[in-house]
Amino acid sequence: MLARGLCEIYERISNDGGSVQQDSSLPPIARRALARLSRLCVDEGVEDIGSSIHLVMGRATLPMRSWGVPSFADGFRYGDVELADGSLGVPTDDCRELARMGGSEINAEEDLHHEQLRAAVQSYPASQRASAYTAIRELVVRRPVISQNELHDFISRGHAHAARTIHGLYRSIPQGALSGGVARRCGRCGALLWPVRDPAFPDGRCQVRQCVLEGETVPGEVIDQPSLSRLANAALLAFWVGPGLDEVRLHDALIARGRNSVLYPMADAADVGLDALSVGLDVKSYASPLVLGARLSRGIGRLSLFGRRVIVVPDYKLRINPRYIDDLRGAYTGDEALEFMTVASAIRAFGV
Ligand SMILES: [Zn+2]
C-alpha cells in the first residue's frame, strides 16, 4: 500500500510539477498507507514516521530494514527494498513492482519514453526500425550529457524522422548542476556530478544510483559552456542510463570477444541479443530478489522470443547479498525456462 501511495505521489509530481504536502491533496491510498504505518510505529513503540509524508519520503531512499521499525527489520520479506531513488526523485523498480502486486496500474515514465521512441521509429523504412531504436537508445545511455552540436550531427545522420522525439529525451542543464558557472561530467557514467555540501564529494556527486553503487566518484571533464549542452531527462537517467551501465558493459565485452551481440534488439525485446534469436539477456537491478522473482513470474514479455533467456544481475548484488541468485531462482515461479547469472558470469559463459 505504501509502495502504491509513493508511486501515485511521484506520478503526480512528475505530471504537475507540484510539491508534496501533508494535507488532503495526498492521494487517498497514500493517506491510508501512512495511517497504517503510524499505527504500526505506535504499536511497536518507535518514532511515528507515519505521521509525516516527509519523514517517509526521507526514509524511502533507504532499505526498509533500516527505517527504525522493528517489523521491517529482521526476517521482513522486503527488508532490502528501497522504495525511492533519492537523487532522481523517482520510485525504484522494486517500489513499482510492489505497487503492481498491490493492484495498481502503474504508468511508468520510462515506459512512456520507450513507447514514444517505438512510435517515432515507425516512420522509418521497416528494415531500419530496429537499428534506429537501438541507435537512439544507445545514444542516451552512452551520452547522457551531449553538446547540441553532437545531437544535431546525430540527427542529421539519418534520424530526421525522429528529431522531435530525440530532442524530447533531453533537457537543458539545470542551474542546480552548475558550480561557478560550469558543469562537470561524471567520469564513470557520463552524466553530471552535482554540487553537494558534503565535503566528501568536492567534485560533486553523481545522481545515477547504479553508478554510485559501483564505487568512488570519478570526476570527468568540465563543461565550461553548459548552455550549449543537454542532459537526459531524470526518468531516463534512472531507467535507461543507470541499468545501461551493465548492459553496455556486457555488450561491449561480448563484441570484444568476437560475438554477434546487439543492444536492445527488435526495439528492446531484450537488453542484449546474441546471434539473432539464439540468446536474449536482460539486465535487472532490483534491490530485492523476491520482488524481481515476482516481477518475472508475472511475465517475461518478448524475452520469450529467444531460444535461451538469461536474467543478468549486476555483480555488486552478490556482494550485498551472496544468496541473491539463489533467492531469485527460488522466487521465480513462471513457466518459461530462465537462466540467472551475474554480468561477469554472463561474459564468461557467452564470451567464447
Ligand atoms: Zn555517474
pLDDT of residue 215: 86
Global pTM value: 0.86
Residue 243, in any domain of the structure: no
Residue 279, in any domain of the structure: yes
Residue 251, in any domain of the structure: no
| Residue 292 pLDDT exceeds 90 | yes
pLDDT of residue 109: 61
Residue 117, in any domain of the structure: yes
CA 241–ligand 1 middle distance (angstroms): 9
**Same domain, residue pair 84 and 126:** no
263 sits in which H/E element: strand 261-263
| Residue 22 pLDDT exceeds 80 | no
**Same domain, residue pair 102 and 130:** no
pLDDT of residue 101: 82
Q: Domain boundary residue among 63, 88, 107?
A: 107
| Residue 121 pLDDT exceeds 90 | yes
Q: Which segments of the chain does DSSP mark as H helices, in order?
A: 2-16, 28-44, 53-59, 93-101, 109-121, 129-142, 148-156, 163-168, 209-213, 234-236, 242-256, 265-268, 289-297, 316-320, 324-331, 343-350
Residue 44, in any domain of the structure: yes
CA 237–ligand 1 middle distance (angstroms): 10
Task: Count the domains in the chain.
Answer: 3
Residues in the chain: 352
CA 189–ligand 1 middle distance (angstroms): 4
CA 263–ligand 1 middle distance (angstroms): 20
Share of the chain above pLDDT 70, in %: 97
| Residue 108 pLDDT exceeds 70 | no
CA 145–ligand 1 middle distance (angstroms): 11
pLDDT of residue 16: 66
**Same domain, residue pair 39 and 77:** yes
| Residue 110 pLDDT exceeds 90 | no
pLDDT of residue 85: 85
**Same domain, residue pair 222 and 279:** no
pLDDT of residue 275: 96
Cell reading at 30: 497514500
Contact 310, 345 (CB under 8 A): no
Cell reading at 343: 554480468
**Same domain, residue pair 102 and 115:** no
Distance (Å, rounded) from C-alpha 252 to C-alpha 259? 10
Residue 81, in any domain of the structure: yes
**Same domain, residue pair 102 and 41:** yes
**Residue 159: alpha-carbon gap to chain centroid:** 26
Q: Domain boundary residue among 107, 123, 148?
A: 107
CA 258–ligand 1 middle distance (angstroms): 28
What pLDDT, in 10s, does the model give residues 75-86? 888 999 999 887
**Same domain, residue pair 118 and 177:** yes
| Residue 176 pLDDT exceeds 70 | yes
pLDDT of residue 89: 76
Distance (Å, rounded) from C-alpha 176 to C-alpha 348? 42
**Same domain, residue pair 163 and 280:** no
| Residue 18 pLDDT exceeds 70 | no
What pLDDT, in 10s, does the model give residues 306-335? 999 999 999 989 988 999 999 999 999 999
Q: Which domain holds residue 330?
A: 269-350
CA 52–ligand 1 middle distance (angstroms): 32
**Same domain, residue pair 63 and 119:** no
Classify burial at 308, counting beta carbons within 10 Å of its beta carbon; exposed 0-12, middle 13-18, buried 19 or more: middle
What pLDDT, in 10s, does the model give residues 149-161? 999 999 999 999 8
Residue 217, in any domain of the structure: yes
Q: Domain boundary residue among 80, 107, 134?
A: 107
Residues 6+ positions from 318 with CB-CB distance below 8 Å: 324, 325, 342
* Average pLDDT value over all residues in the chain: 91
CA 248–ligand 1 middle distance (angstroms): 14
Residue 64, in any domain of the structure: yes
Closest CA to 219 of 185, 189, 195, 245: 185
CA 190–ligand 1 middle distance (angstroms): 6
Q: What 8-state DSSP symbol labels residue 283? A: E
Share of the chain above pLDDT 90, in %: 66
pLDDT of residue 127: 94
What pLDDT, in 10s, does the model give residues 234-267? 889 988 999 999 999 999 999 999 999 999 999 9
Distance (Å, rounded) from C-alpha 57 to C-alpha 352? 46
What pLDDT, in 10s, does the model give residues 208-236? 988 988 889 999 999 999 999 999 998 89
Distance (Å, rounded) from C-alpha 178 to C-alpha 187? 16
**Same domain, residue pair 141 and 75:** no
pLDDT of residue 223: 96
**Same domain, residue pair 313 and 197:** no
| Residue 123 pLDDT exceeds 80 | yes
**Same domain, residue pair 287 and 346:** yes
